[in-house]
Amino acid sequence: MAGIREPFPALLVEKRPDGQVSPTVTDLSSADLPAGDVVIEVDYSSLNYKDALACGGHPGVVKSLPHVPGIDCAGTVVGSTANDFSPGDEVLVTGYGLGAESWGGYSRYVRVPADWIVAMPAGLDARRAMVIGTAGFTAAQCITAITDRGIQPEAGPVVVTGATGGVGTWSVAILAKLGYQVTAVTGKAEQAEVLQQLGAAEVVGRDVVSDSSDRPLLKSKWAAAVDTVGGMPLATILRSTLHRACVTACGLVAGVELPLTVHPFILRGVTLAGIDSAKCPRAMRMQMWQRLAGPWRVDLPETCITEVALGDVPGRVEEILAGKVVGRTLVIPGHGD
């Protein structure tokens, strides 16, 4: 296909003859790409927890094998049958079926439907867009849910769990920029200085949000929360809020069960807002990117950003699944060619 330099590298997840599933850097051609309207040459993707699961062929993420992970990407259009995009356009894609139902950004080229694509917002480039990526996009939705609830900085502290992860990092930074007093929860005490640099007013351990008692309500602490882990921490936070708080939920690494009663909702008027980034409506999607490129723009310290080539992804996946990754990991499909 015109505009594509073939063959090109991709991280292909396949089932081996021994039954094990593993990702391997493999050469592909344009004929291997899924159907779509627009071909993008990928400059950057990123590594998220969902990508780590995809690299292992997790059936809850990957619909079929072989598969190319990468739930977001940014780069330049090299081919298009759509009226809205032309070769040379700088664009980004997050969510929809990218890296799940459809092959994703861990490839030099992707082909996607035109309605998945966002024109690069003014003030961003491919690298900056992927430092934000699905993680920052999710954080922006969480914070929007809080502000839409009418919760202002003077209402009280906002707690962020999984604060050294992608969504947590961005949530701490944006909330602090907006003037909120942020309490960052992490199991990595050695990262307290980094979180304070991002704007956290307080850094606490996971024990602060791990109350396993059967008390329906706990002492009121938080005006709002961004919970990225689920399970007991989410249940503890919901029982620990101030009146008419908003708690956003976007993760499950601490568990999928939610052991609590209805008391936080009917006695304190708490709102539990679920955040679904993959299928975010397009109008809201555009609004989030405009905020992230404009009034909510934050530049993460370079110490919070790691760049890896395709061949380095499997090792990085092991680290993210072990909870050892801090900040954002960028994947560069063309690095090392």
Return mean pLDDT, the chain.
95
Q: What's the total number of domains in the chain?
A: 2
Residue 2 has pLDDT above 70, yes or no: no
| Cβ proximity of 71 and 111 under 8 Å | no
Are 84 and 48 contained in the same domain? yes
Query: What CATH number does the domain containing 210 carry?
Result: 3.40.50.720
Domain region containing 180: 135-274
| Cβ proximity of 175 and 246 under 8 Å | no
128 within a domain of the structure (yes/no): no
pLDDT number for residue 248:
98
Return the structure tokens found at 38.
């627009």
In tens, the pLDDT along 100-148 reads: 999 999 999 999 999 999 999 999 999 999 999 999 999 999 999 999 9
In tens, the pLDDT along 180-193 reads: 999 999 999 999 99
Instruction: Look up residue 71 and give its DSSP letter.
Output: S
Are 113 and 144 contained in the same domain? no
Name the band, by pLDDT with cuts 50, 70 and 90, for residue 243: very high
Return the structure tokens found at 264.
């936080």
In tens, the pLDDT along 200-218 reads: 999 999 999 999 999 999 9
Query: What CATH number does the domain containing 58 carry?
Result: 3.90.180.10
**Regarding predicted confidence, which is higher, 271 or 336?**
271
Instruction: Look up residue 192 and give its DSSP letter.
Output: H
Residue 249 has pLDDT above 70, yes or no: yes
Beta strands in 63-193 (DSSP E): 72-80, 90-94, 109-112, 118-119, 158-160, 182-185
Distance between CA atoms of 336 and 192, rounded to whole angstroms? Answer: 34
Distance between CA atoms of 102 and 69, rounded to whole angstroms? Answer: 9
Residue 36 has pLDDT above 80, yes or no: yes
